[in-house]
Amino acid sequence: MTTRTPLERLIAMPEFGPLALLLVEIALFTAINPTFLSPLNISNTLTFTVELGIIALAMTLLMTSGEFDLSVGSMFGFAPVLMWTLFNANILPFGAAFLVAMLVAAAIGLFSGLFVTRLKIPSFLVTLGMLLVVRGTSLYITDGFPQRTWSAEGTWLATILVGDFYVGPFRIYASLFWFIGLAAILGYVLNRTKAGNWIQAAGGNPLAARARGVKVGRVKVALFMLTASCAAFAGMISSIRTSAANPNSGTGYELEVIAMVVIGGTVLTGGRGTILGTVIGTLILRVMRNGIVLIGVPGLAYNIFVGAIILGMMALHSWLERRHNAGV
């Protein structure tokens, strides 16, 4: 075994492919429209990116353990609706309403998790059912009306969650720190703790893990709860920031979030996951959407470009992988 230079080690990392893709993408968009790298645009892109990113981080752990959750999008819409309903109806103060929404989300995650692990129903069906129930509930409790959101600004909770300030020309929201913090914690958990080892084992070979006394079911249930909570959290910060609580928000996020995780290198069938990869995957997808608007693609062709870029990047990725495997 020869020792490697740092560059070689970088190239050998599984996250190298996605990282290269991200850089290529940024370079391309900047070449076409230099506004792309303006502080305003960077701040703007980051804002929503980190909200989706928070869900993607939790989903990374869940997918590593061999399951996934299709209900995150509807949870993203449901939690803020619940919070604002409780608050607007004067049932609870703001902080308590926030807490209750988080608890309800965790309870729903618990329910999905138990369904999957105890009844042995594929997570596809359980979370698809849950998607419909949760989305339906937000519609039903609001009667379809968006909730009013005027009175959050300035409360200490709102400041902690989405307060914004300027760092030089960059407008930074507090949510960025939540994202970075969560990425650091979950990355640490996945790679360097006992829990992380159990998560990977649960996804890699559940029978073997169980035979070693790993509580595979409990690990998965906990991750379902984490994912649901993170989706609710992301939904609420997004709602406070955009001052909107619409029962429809978050529609379709499930596929986008899973795509972020998979592009980052986490395996769809479990056993291998990377938080760093997910951070990069999240950036790849959101930067792409921002860039497409910025370079002025016609509105109706938007989806064609998003799709074609995903396909193109995956082809590039596969080519990088192959070169890399052949090269060593």
Q: Does 107 bind a second copy (CB under 8 A)?
A: no
Task: In whole angstroms, give the CA distance from residue 78 to residue 257.
Answer: 17
Chain centre to alpha carbon of residue 81: 20
Q: Does 119 bind another protein (CB under 8 A)?
A: no
Q: Does 12 bind a second copy (CB under 8 A)?
A: no
Residue 150: name its binding partner from a second copy, another protein, none (Cβ under 5 to 8 Å by kind). Answer: another protein
Provide the b/e sequence for 13-48 (b: ≥16 CB within 10 Å). Answer: eebbbbbbbbeebbeebeeeeeebeeeebbbebbbb
Q: Does 301 bind a second copy (CB under 8 A)?
A: yes
Residue 122: name its binding partner from another protein, a second copy, none (Cβ under 5 to 8 Å by kind). Answer: a second copy
Least separation in angstroms between residue 297's CB and another protein is: 8
Shorter beta-carbon distance to a second copy: residue 24 or 314? 314
Least separation in angstroms between residue 282's CB and another protein is: 14
Residue 70: name its binding partner from a second copy, another protein, none (Cβ under 5 to 8 Å by kind). Answer: a second copy
What does each C-alpha distance from 25 to 18, 20, 280 come to in angstroms?
10, 9, 12
Report the residue from 32, 40, 132, 293 that binds a second copy according to the rule CB under 8 A: 132
Neighbour count for residue 262 (Cβ, 10 Å): 19
Provide the b/e sequence for 274-283 (b: ≥16 CB within 10 Å). Answer: bbbbbbbbbb
Report the residue from 106, 110, 133, 244 that binds a second copy according to the rule CB under 8 A: 133
**What is the 8-class DSSP label of residue 270?**
S
Residue 200: name its binding partner from a second copy, another protein, none (Cβ under 5 to 8 Å by kind). Answer: another protein
Residue 246: name its binding partner from another protein, a second copy, none (Cβ under 5 to 8 Å by kind). Answer: another protein
For Cα atoms 144, 74, 257, give the angle at the middle one, nearest 5 degrees: 145
Which residues is 165 bridged to in the sheet? 172
Task: In whole angstroms, give the CA distance from residue 60 to residue 257.
Answer: 9
Q: Does 19 bind another protein (CB under 8 A)?
A: no
Structure tokens at 170: 């960059």
Shorter beta-carbon distance to another protein: residue 40 or 103? 40
Q: Does 122 bind a second copy (CB under 8 A)?
A: yes
Q: Does 175 bind another protein (CB under 8 A)?
A: no
Pairing, β 170-173 against β 164-167: antiparallel
Shorter beta-carbon distance to another protein: residue 20 or 139? 139
Shorter beta-carbon distance to another protein: residue 206 or 281? 206
Structure tokens at 20: 């290269």
**Are 240 and 32 within 8 A, CB to CB?**
no
Task: In whole angstroms, give the CA distance from residue 212 to residue 27.
Answer: 48
Report the residue from 79, 108, 214, 228 that binds another protein according to the rule CB under 8 A: 214
Window 259-288: contact mask with a second copy (x via CB under 8 A): x--xx----xx-------------------
Least separation in angstroms between residue 312's CB and a second copy is: 9
Helix axes 39-64, 275-294, angle to 10 degrees: 140
Please spell the DSSP secondary structure of 128-164, one letter per residue: HHHHHHHHHHHHHHHTTPPBP-GGGTTSHHHHHHH-E
Least separation in angstroms between residue 20's CB and another protein is: 19
Binding segment for another protein (CB under 8 A), chosen from 36-44, 92-100, 112-120, 126-134, is 36-44
Number of residues this chain uses to bind a second copy (CB under 8 A): 47
| Contact residues: a second copy, CB under 8 A | 70, 115, 119-122, 124-126, 128-137, 139-140, 143-144, 255, 258-259, 262-263, 268-269, 298, 300-308, 310-311, 314-315, 317-319
